[in-house]
A and B are shown apart, each in its own frame.
Chain A
Amino acid sequence: MRYLPLTDADRQAMLDRIGVATIDDLFSDVPAAARLDGPIEGLPGHAGELAVERHMAALARRNMAAGDGPFFLGAGAYRHHVPASVDHLIQRGEFLTAYTPYQPEIAQGTLQILFEFQTQVARLLGCDVANASMYDGSTACWEAIGMARRITRRGKALLSSGLHPHYVSVARTMATFTGDELVHRAPSLDVAGDGEDLIAALDADTSCVVVQYPDILGRINDLSVLAEKAHEIGALLIAVVTEPVALGACRAPGEMGADIVVGEGQSLGVGLQFGGPYLGLFATRQKYLRQMPGRLCGETVDAEGKRGFVLTLSTREQHIRREKATSNICTNSGLCALAFSIHLTLLGEKGLRDLALLNHARAAQVAERLAALPGIRLLNHSFFNEFTIVLEKDARQVVRDLADRGVLAGVSLGRLYPDEANIARGLVVAVTETVTDEDIDALVSGLKEVLA
C-alpha cells in the first residue's frame, strides 16, 4: 500500500523492541466482543491511483460544471476567475500540510499571512480588527449574534428579511438551544428593504439587528440610519456580506456604523466547491475585541528583538477556557484564508475596484436586457452584481427547464423559501466577470423560450 512505508521486517523488529509477539497484542485492551478479526466484510479492498482516479472522474462527469455553459448562480456563493498563481501557491506543501501555528518559531509563514489577512479583512469591511477566519459566512453570522448577546446582555435579535435564508436557518437552529429570541419574516418582492420595519421593532430587549449588504435579493441599502437608531437603544448593528467583491465598489458596512461585520469570503480565491470549504470573515470594533470568537494572530518580538507573529488572546478560546470560552471553535479556514489573501494581494486596491466595476457593469447590462423581455419585471432599483427578476410563473420550474437546455439561470426563491408561495416567481440572477456575451445571449433566448 503506497502510503504505508513499514515492511514486514520493520514490523517484526519493532514488535521485538516493544516486547510483544503480534500486532493483535497491542489491541488487547479492546474487549473481545468488539474486536474485528479481519477487514470489514462487504467493503472493497485497496486500489491503485489509476483506479481511484477513474472512479472519481466518472462521478465528477455526472455534474454540470459551472464552466460548462452559461452560469448565473449566486445567492451566497459566487463564481469568479481565480488567478492561476493562487492555486499554485496554496498547494505548496509548507502551507498545505502545516498544522495550526502552535509553535510560532517554525510557523512564521502561516502567522504572517494571518496577520496580513486580518488587516486586509478589517480594511475591506471597514472595521478596526478582524479574526483569522471562521468556518463560513453562516456560522460567522451566528457567532456574531452570540457575541452581541454577550456584549449587550440582551437576548433578542432582529434578523432582516433580506438575510440569506440559510443564515437564518442556522441562527434558528442554534437559538433553539441557546434560548435567544429571533425576530424574522421572509422577504417580500419590494423595491425597498425592511429598514423601516427593523427600526420600528427596536426595543430595550434588542441585542442586535442583522442585515445583509447587498441583501439576498441583491438590493443595497444605506445602513447609517439603522446603525444610529440601533445604537440609540443600546443594540448593535451586525452587517453580513456574502459577496466581498461588492466592497470594491460600495461603501464598507463598518464605515456606515456596523459594530460587527461578518461575511462569506469564498468569492476571492476559494471557488464554488459545492458549498465548502468556505471562509467566514469576522471583524469588529477594537473595544469588542475580547468578546470576539475565533483565532487571532498578533505581532510581537522574539528574543533578539526581531518582529514576529503569534496566536494571541487565546484566553477567550476553548483549549484554555473550556466551558467558559467565547466559542467552541477550534479551527479556522486557514487554507481558504490564504487563498483569499493571495487573490486580494494579486488584485490590490486597483484590481479589486476594477473587478467590482466590471461585475456591476455586466450585471447592469444583463438586468437591462432581461427587463426588456415580456413577462419579466426587474425588482431592484439598486444592486451590485446580483438582482431579482419576477416572472409570471414559478421560477423553480423555469430554472429546471433552462438547466435542461444547458443554461444555469439563477437561484429561484422557491428553492430558498419553499414555504413562501407568494415569492415563488422570483429568480435571483448573479452576473460576474466570468459571464460572456454568448452566455448572456443564451440566457435571454432560453428565458424567451421557457416563458413563451
Chain B
Amino acid sequence: MTINQSGWRPESGAGLPLDTALPATATGNRGLMLEEPLIFEIGSADRSGVDIEAAPAIASRLGGLERSEAIGLPGLSEQETVRHYTRLSRQNYAIDLGLFPLGSCTMKHNPRLNEKVARLPGFADIHPLQPVATVQGALAVIHELGEWLKALTGMAAVAMSPKAGAHGELCGLLSIRAALEARGDARRVILVPESAHGTNPATAAFCGYAVEDIPATPDGRVDVAALTARLGPDVAAVMITNPNTCGLFERDLKTIADAVHAAGAFVYCDGANFNAIVGRVRPGDLGVDAMHINLHKTFSTPHGGGGPGSGPVVLSEALAPFAPLPFVEKREDGSFLLVEEETAGEHHGRSFGRMVAFHGQMGMFTRALAYILSHGADGLRQVADDAVLNANYVLRSLDDLLDAPFGASGPCMHEALFSDADHGRGGLAEGFTTLDIAKGLIDEGYHPMTVYFPLVVHGAMLVEPTETESKAALDQFIMALRSVAERAKAGDPLLKGAPWHAPRRRLDETLAARKPVLTWEKPAAAQ
C-alpha cells in the first residue's frame, strides 16, 4: 500500500464500476443521509431535558383525581432532543433549500426580519385577555395591518380573526348568510366553478348551503352565460377564485358581479392567489363583497410544514355590519378599542358572532405587517409584476414540450398550468403519468409542482414560481423539468422508480389508508 504524500485526494475508485449497487451500511445511514428512530424507540419515561425545581410540599387539591397510571411519554436529554429534530429536519424539502413551485400555494421566501419582530416579548409574551390598556401596541398592529389590507383590496372593512384561508371562507359565507337573513331572504344555493379549491364547496356545505357547479369555458374561465342563466332568487352567492386556479385572470368578474348583485346575491372571492395582483388590481373595484387573504401566501408568513395559516377577510359596505367579533377600532384620541362581547352591543350589534377564541393569529399579523412595511406600496406592486413575469417565463419556456391547455388564452398570472396530454407535442410514453414527472423532479433536487389540480385539466401540473426566484434559479428548474419530461416521453424505465435519491422511495399510500396505523405501539415481541 502506498502512502498518499501529496496532501491531495488519491485517485478514487480502484476500478469500481459505476453501475454497482450501493453497498449496504450497518446502520442504515448513508453518509449525511441519516436514519432516525421514533422518540418512543429512543426515549424513556425517566429521562428529561428540563430541570424542574422541586415542588413545595402541599396538601393535594386535585379532587381525588390524581393520575396513577403511566402516560407513556418518552423523554430525551437536551442534546438527544436537538439531534432527533435536527436529523428529522434534514429529511424535509423547504423553500430555504430551493425553488418550491407548488401552484396555488405561493411558496415565497420567508424573511427572517419577520421572525425576529414576532418574537419581541411585547408581541410574543402577552396574554389575549390582558386589560386593553396594557396591549395598545398589539391592537395597533392589528389595526395597521387591517388598514393596509383594506387599502390594497379597496374594501370597506376587514375581519382579522379567521385562522386560515378556509376559516376565512367560512367568515365570508357567514357574513353573507347573516346579511341575507337580516333582510329576511332565505337563499339556499351557492354557485362554485368546477376549478375551485376543494375548500369552497366544503365551506358552503358547512354553512348549510346546497352547492352547484358552474362550468368553465374552453379557454379556462368561468362560463359567464351559464352563470348568469343560473342566477335567481334561490342563489345566495357565487364563489370565484381570481386569478383562478388555471392561473388566469377572470376578466369578466366585474360583469359577473354586477349580474350577481342585480339578482340580489353576493360575490365571494377566494383570495388564495392575490399575490399575482397585489398593488395592480383592487378586488373591491371588481365588485367583490368578501375575500379572504392568506397571510401565509401573499404576505410571506411561513407555512411551517402545513400551518399555522391566517385568513383575514375583507368585506364590502354591504357585509361590514355583520363582521365577526372581536375587532379593533381606533378612537379619536389615537387609542384602540377592542370590540368584543362586552362592548359589541353599542358598537356592533349585528355581528354574526365569534368564530374563534381570542383575536386571531397575532403571531402572523406581526410578520405580515413587517413584510408589508418592508415592501411598501411600490414594492408590493413589484411583487405582483415579478410573480407574473416569472410564471409567464416558465410557461413560455416549457410550452413547446408540455401541453399548456390554456396557453392560448392570454398571459397567465402567478402560475403556469400544464397537462399530460399530447396535443401535437407528443404525449408521455405508455404507462407514464404526471406523477412520474413529479417524482423525477424530486431526484433533481426540487419539490414538485402541484399535481392533479385543478381537476378540470387531465394530469395537471401547476407551477407557481413566485417573485422571490431569480432568473438563474428559474433557468435551472426549467432545464430540470425539461429533462424529466423528456424522459417521461421517451419512457425511461428508471423514471418509474423515482425518486431514487430521496430519504424514502415511493411510499405505499394505499396500505396506509387500508390499515391505518396512526399511533406508535410497542411491537408485540418487545412487550
Contact = CB atoms under 8 A, between A and B. Distances in A.
B73 interface: yes
A222 B64 contact: yes
Contacts of A299: 512, 517-518
Given A3-B375, A60-B122, A89-B82, 18 more contacts: A33-B254, A33-B285, A42-B151, A59-B138, A67-B125, A75-B129, A79-B127, A99-B100, A101-B306, A123-B71, A135-B356, A173-B353, A220-B62, A277-B310, A318-B166, A322-B202, A331-B307, A411-B129
15 contacts: A20-B411, A33-B254, A59-B123, A63-B136, A92-B85, A99-B107, A105-B504, A107-B91, A115-B518, A119-B519, A275-B128, A303-B508, A321-B198, A358-B55, A361-B58
B520 A119 contact: yes
Interface stretch (A6-14, A151-159, A203-211): A6-14
Contacts of A313: 513, 516
A58 to B, nearest CB: 8
Contacts of B509: 104, 300, 310, 312
A251 B375 CA distance: 51
A130 interface: yes
A182 interface: no
A99 B305 contact: yes
Given A248-B67, A308-B507, A403-B131, A328 B88 contact: no
A370 to B, nearest CB: 13
Contact-residue bracket for chain B: 35 or more
B74 A348 contact: yes
B449 to A, nearest CB: 10
A145 to B, nearest CB: 13
B28 to A, nearest CB: 8
Given A66-B125, A319-B198, A345-B74, A360 B376 contact: no
B47 A250 contact: no
A404 B517 CA distance: 54
B188 to A, nearest CB: 12
Contacts of A348: 43-49, 73-76
A4 B379 contact: yes
A4 B108 CA distance: 10
A25 interface: yes
Given A6-B386, A105-B499, A408-B130, A178 B208 contact: yes
Pick the 3 closest A-B CB pairs, nearest first: A348-B75, A275-B358, A60-B122
Contact of B61 (A40, A328, A345, A383): A383
Contact of B363 (A170, A273, A349): A273
A334 B354 CA distance: 24
A329 interface: yes
A30 to B, nearest CB: 5
A307 B203 CA distance: 35
A250 B63 CA distance: 9
A18 B396 contact: yes
A271 B204 CA distance: 33
Given A4-B379, A61-B122, A95 B92 contact: yes
B93 A272 contact: no
A358 B130 contact: no
B216 interface: no
A10 B133 contact: no
Contacts of A150: none
Contacts of B151: 40, 42-43
A336 B308 contact: yes
B348 interface: no
A45 B378 contact: yes
B369 A92 contact: no
A116 B38 contact: yes
B317 interface: no
Given A85-B78, A221-B63, A272-B124, A342 B71 contact: no
B359 interface: yes
A46 B376 contact: yes
A139 interface: yes
Given A327-B202, A331-B307, A354-B55, A274 B73 contact: no
B448 interface: yes
Interface stretch (B12-20, B274-282, B424-432, B485-493): B274-282
B44 to A, nearest CB: 7
A14 B300 CA distance: 24
Interface stretch (A49-57, A194-202, A231-239, A441-449): A49-57
Contacts of B324: 173
A358 B141 CA distance: 36
A373 interface: no
A370 B391 CA distance: 64
B350 interface: no
Contacts of A300: 507-509, 511-512, 517
Given A96-B94, A222-B64, A35 B164 contact: no
A279 to B, nearest CB: 8
A323 B204 contact: yes
Contacts, number: 722
B373 interface: yes
Residue with the greatest number of chain A CB neighbours at <10 A, chosen from B56, B134, B388: B134
Nearest to B45: A349
A335 B308 contact: yes
A412 B348 CA distance: 23
Interface string A397-434: 00110010000100100111011000000000000010
B65 A164 contact: no
Interface stretch (B1-9, B112-120, B223-231, B260-268): B112-120
Contacts of A185: none
B342 A418 contact: yes
B378 to A, nearest CB: 5
B195 interface: no
A304 interface: yes
B330 interface: no
A178 B447 CA distance: 39
Residue with the greatest number of chain A CB neighbours at <10 A, chosen from B69, B100, B127, B502: B127
B456 interface: no
B410 A49 contact: no
Nearest to A172: B353
B127 A56 contact: no
A21 interface: no
Contacts of B203: 328
A451 interface: no
A260 B505 CA distance: 36
B127 A408 contact: yes
A11 B134 CA distance: 48
Contact of B207 (A100, A139, A177, A273): A177
Interface in A155-192: 164-167, 169-170, 172-173, 176-179
A155 B421 CA distance: 48
B312 interface: no
A230 interface: no
B392 to A, nearest CB: 5
B370 A4 contact: no
B237 interface: no
A276 B64 contact: no
B26 interface: no
B389 A14 contact: yes
B415 interface: no
A112 B88 contact: yes
A251 B67 contact: yes
Contacts of B519: 115, 118-119, 122-123, 128-130
A306 B504 contact: yes
A287 interface: no
Nearest to A273: B363
B307 to A, nearest CB: 4
Residue with the greatest number of chain B CB neighbours at <10 A, chosen from A165, A271, A365: A271
Interface in B405-433: 410-411
A403 B67 CA distance: 36
B65 to A, nearest CB: 5
A376 interface: no
Contacts of B70: 349
Contacts of B502: 105-106
B525 interface: no
